[in-house]
Amino acid sequence: MKKTVFTLAAVAAVIGTVAVAQDYSANLKARQGQFRILALNIGILGGMAQGKIAYDAEAAQRAADSMVAVTHIDPGPLWPEGSDNMSIDGTRAMPSIWDENADFLAKWGALGEAAAGMQQVAATGQEALGPAMGKLGGACKACHDKHRAPE
């Protein structure tokens, strides 16, 4: 009898642990990949803005279009509750993303606006990139300031 109780308790503990430590690796890969796509395309635009890459209106437009496409991805499935840096490893996402979700979503929306701004001007000339980059940078920083932990 004692043994049965112990076994049951052990089984329950294991199940409990599994339930708590869910596998969020796909979510992490997806959201970190989305930021990687953004960074690659900002890199093209930033390189052109700084004169490190020759300006090419078509390439600039494609980069801006890609960024806008990423900002249209629904953040919901990428950011399940419990996938913050206090609960799991491998992320710098702070609990404030869920505690102040409206703020987080507003900042994601602001990135969408900044990317749309870049999309409108990217093909109009090299000198238009700098100011649009500034707005993109502001959108990135605003969210990282509040919701991303340092490395």
Partner 1 sequence: MRALRWLILVAVLGAAAGWWMTRARPLPGDALAALEGDAVRGEAVFLAGGCASCHAAPETTDKRRLSGGQRFASDFGTFVAPNISPDPVQGIGSWTGAQFASALRRGVSPEGRHYYPAFPYTAYARMRDQDVVDLWAFWQTLPASDAESQPHEVGFPFSVRRGVGLWKLLYLNDGWVMQGDLDPTLERGRYLVEALAHCGECHTPRGPLGGLDTARWLQGAPNPSGKGKIPALTPDRLTWDAGEIAYYLETGFTPDYDSAGGHMVAVVENFGQLTAQDRAAVAAYVKALP
Q: Output the smallest distance, CB 79 to partner 1, in A.
A: 17
Q: What DSSP letter does each residue of 18-86 carry, written as one string?
A: HHHS---HHHHHHHHHHHHHHHHHHHHHHHHHHTSS---HHHHHHHHHHHHHHHTS-SGGGS-TT-STT
Q: CA 63, CA 37: separation in Å to the nearest integer?
A: 10
Q: Output the smallest distance, CB 92 to partner 1, in A.
A: 8
Of 62 and 146, the one with the shorter C-beta distance to partner 1 is 146
Of 80 and 131, the one with the shorter C-beta distance to partner 1 is 131
The residues that touch partner 1, with contacts defined as CB under 8 A, are 38-40, 42-43, 46, 50, 85-86, 92, 133-134, 137-138, 140-142, 144-146, 148-151
Q: Output the smallest distance, CB 87 to partner 1, in A.
A: 12
> Cα angle vertex 63, ends 60, 65, to 5°?
110
Number of residues that make up the chain: 151
Q: Output the smallest distance, CB 69 to partner 1, in A.
A: 17
Q: Output the smallest distance, CB 150 to partner 1, in A.
A: 4
Q: Which residue has the tokens 């209106």?
A: 57
- Outline where DSSP puts E strands in the chain: none
Of 78 and 129, the one with the shorter C-beta distance to partner 1 is 129
Cβ atoms within 10 Å of 68's Cβ, excluding its own? 18
Of 61 and 85, the one with the shorter C-beta distance to partner 1 is 85
Of 18 and 56, the one with the shorter C-beta distance to partner 1 is 56
